[in-house]
Structure 1
Amino acid sequence: MNSADHLYVKSAATAWASSRGTRAAIDFAQPDGSPMGSVVDIRLVHKKLRVHLDRSVAPQWDGEHEPVLGVSVPVDQDTLIKRWYVNRIRLDSEGTSRRVRIGTEAFARPTEWFSLDECEMTERGLSNPAVERIVQSRSTPPPSIRVTLRDRKQPDARTRAHVLFRRIEEARLVGAVVVVTRVSHALEALEGADQETQAQINTVLEDATVWLQKQAVARQEMFSRLSDAAAGGDVQETRGLLAHVNAIAAHDRTDTETQTAAAAAAFLAGALREQEKTARRLNAAAEAKEEARRRTAWEKANAVARVRTTLRTLRRNGRTMLGTEKGRKVAMLADLADKVGDQLTRSEINQIKAWKARVQRERKPATELPVRRNHAPEPSPKSDRNRNTDTGQ
């Protein structure tokens, strides 16, 4: 199935209903743990359709929705015979878009395909020219004709037997268990057969019995595999087998078969709930991780902005700024540079280093400065003359 086919179906169904003056409510249902897009429910005014785009969900022929099957969804011949026909859907690529086409499949007839514009919704359900012909042929009684003595003459037992032989062979070829069983009963009840024809009937019945037994064994094995897959927790195997048994073994189920199918459906529903819980947990963890990444990125961007603002302030006012204020700002620059150094330019890093060095120079204690030694003043010439006078020299 194309990953967007359910969206194309929704768009086409909405447009089709609108063109007929009505509305269609579309829902992407997920019964039995099926993935999103496997099933599209279309609710019209008086009818409901369920479009099965893949095999994930088995059609329910006696449910409230009329099934419309994708081209890959199987249908057993017994269902075709019982229902007269089934409608199918396919999506053909046209450029970058997909066009919906509706087909009708009947027993022993090829599927006929029509555009969506050729389809209508009737009291019976989704209809097209092929459906109308099938319903008309099933509903119209044969024309009455004058019955003659020759017309009243029934085919002999040999002819009737050979007709039934062909029907049972055709039914076996398509795997129609119900038809094989029904025709076998008709052969058993056939009267008036000669010895040779009766021998042929007996042979055909024996072969049919063996075939039916093999089908029963295969059916039993299939339900057993379904039970094992569900018990073993194999979601993919269970989903595939459940779709298969619902397609080819939907009728005349035993209590055990019904319980097996119900348990498998319950397992798939539970698995879907667990998948949804896991998905929610993973989404929550991913969202938390993304939130942390965004917060870290915001903090780094904010720190870089503070570095650049502080550098501009120091360039403008650094010479006249008080030493304590200048030291605080340079200390902040050094701390921020350690955190976001990879976000700064080489020039900015060099400026921070230069300011750190400058503050360190300005903070050197006075004891580290060179000391100028004091010398006694030399006596002036006047002082020398006074001393000489006093000594009488």
Structure 2
Amino acid sequence: MRGDRRQIQTAVLGSADSEEPLLLPLEAIELGAFRRRHQLDTFWCGLLLGGCGAQLTTKLYTDRVCHFSHHPGSDGQSHICGRRARGISSADHLYVKSAAAAWFRNRGEEADIAFAQPDGAPVGSLVDITSRHRRLRVHLDQAVEPVWDDDGIEPVLGMSVPVDRDTLIRRWYVHRIRLDSEGTARRVQIGTEAFARPTEWFALDTCTMTERGLSTPAVEKIIRSRTSRPAPAWTPGRAYKVPDIEVREQDLDGESQAQDLLHELAEARRAEAVIVVTRLRDQIAEVTGAKEETQTQLAAAVADAGHWLEQQAEVRRSLLADLDAAVAAGDTPRVRTLLTHVNMTALPDRTEEEIRVTGAAADHLTSVASAAAERVQALLEELRSLPRNRPEYQLCPRVQQLIQAAAEAGRLLGPRQQIQIAAWKARAGLDKPAPAQTAAPRASVAQPRRRPQLHKQVARRHWIKTSCPRCWAGSGQECVVGNGSHTRQVRRVPHDERLKPIIDERRERQRNQPKPPPPWRVYEVTCPDCGQGADARCTTTGGPHRSRVERAKEFTRLRKPRPEPGAEA
């Protein structure tokens, strides 16, 4: 039996059956302080972590993350451990128990907290919390299906546990839990997820336990909105219908103007025209002479437009941060896509930061296109030097490189180069159109757009549980060819109509997930090699040290909070 080579990031203190978890720092620069702080402690592969109960030691590395390691056996061979979960989240159930116990203790209450294992579930999948008010069952993974119809148990879902749309609508909301790393510990966050609303996250100290169950500030807002009479609101895309009653002549002009502006505002929002929405919002605020009900609609439209513009501003800030990170990483396709989105949503009075980021992105694309144009010329010269009797299959690799370089060069290529590229495509047999498709013009270098293969995006274990609306194959049955015969042939892949609802539901869940924080930039962290702080360049002439780049990537992966202006990380 071979040992498991995955790195161990968590342990327990004191003994094998301890419930006190510990997270090892990933960076060598932090491990020294960790060792001094715990020089009198012992680390163990805890039984409650699914471990073997053996003692662990710390391993320091500068070229990869630091981790715990088992002591070698008496024969000098590597220790063999069957522990399954070894990553940062492998001790989350212990952190949940510790945080819950402290939370109840600070409120002068008692609670029974246990690690449930129904039907042989692995330890750590479930945490049962029973108080005088309610029983919570925390699902940290998908090992056990949540039970929604049991009034005595309220499920709290981990980040990887899905919830269907019908459950969200029927229950109004569900609670989620996540744990964020803070030094050598993990901090509990409670989220409230509702249908068509983003998940709102709160510190555990801001939550309460009532007869109704776990409650957050978001729960109170949801209950108030469901139980109180809603105020008149304006709905984009549906103008207010004027009732068939007599209106005074002096109000006709104001009423007509109000309806026209509401209609234009709805169209502008559908087109995501930020400038037009801003102008119409200001015009609507100045409308007078309309009826009282219409004035209420106008006020709601102004408030809603203001909220929408704030969201668009946040979207622009997020796009700029992503664009800046893509430029720093040299991700040309992403730079091209994000720059297009930024230009579509930007206002005429751009900030200095927007000008800097978009200018850097444009310079990056220009340099990439110039390099690609030079590569096209070099490849054309290389192809012309080849023997004329070279077969197609030997030409294909170089011609494909030529096509890729031409796509990156774009408008920097002249008509003569385009003609030469088309000629080489024909000679290599790469200009043949696909079946049922029209041949592209000879001077075109773009590849035909392929239809997405949905069956590669959904695993069989997911779609086999649903029925097919096209061939009427039931749950647990393969899709068949609809040829009208009694013995229909089984299809090699399921119908797209069976897969698309699953993909759409997955995308809806992803849209409702909170956006990750923007990535750390290289010069926001302190360089471990030369010691240069934030906003200071490394002392080398060839760019930042590799260790500084890796440290920024690691901070991004751990989602560490961004530094305050003037602070160093």
TM-score scaled by structure 1? 0.38
User: Rg larger in 1 or in 2?
Assistant: 1
Give the structure with the larger helix fraction. Answer: 1
